[in-house]
Amino acid sequence: NAGVMQNPRHLVRRRGQEARLRCSPMKGHSHVYWYRQLPEEGLKFMVYLQKENIIDESGMPKERFSAEFPKEGPSILRIQQVVRGDSAAYFCASSPVVDTEAFFGQGTRLTVV
């Protein structure tokens, strides 16, 4: 059983471009969480999704960021018009049911140049 798969592992974007980060949860997991880790900091919750639904996006910046988890395919975190401050590691986690431990992927390290 493969773990939580994120791709790409590393992503470089120029300011103003779009970044798309993908997360395939573990098999049988229908709950997905995205976190952002700025350099030298802990992880910060961004958004919690179930299939086709955003449950909690209280940690998402109000502009330029969006997330989805379609019926088929991976969850996508999309950042439009990236700025240098978006440079961070973005981690996805998944869990099978509510109120159980979520398992983290390897992360995508976004660098905005």
Sequence-separated (6 or more) residues with CB below 8 Å from residue 95: 29, 31, 33, 101, 102, 103
- Residue owning tokens 């997991």: 29
Smallest separation (angstroms) from another protein to the CB of 81 = 27
The binding site for another protein (CB under 8 A) comprises 31, 33, 35, 41-45, 48, 55-56, 91, 93, 95, 98-107, 109
The dihedrals phi and psi of 69, each to the nearest 5 degrees, come to: -145, 90
> Which is nearer to another protein, 53 or 80 (by Cβ)?
53
Closer to another protein by Cβ: residue 38 or 83: 38
* Pick 16 or 98: Cβ nearer another protein: 98
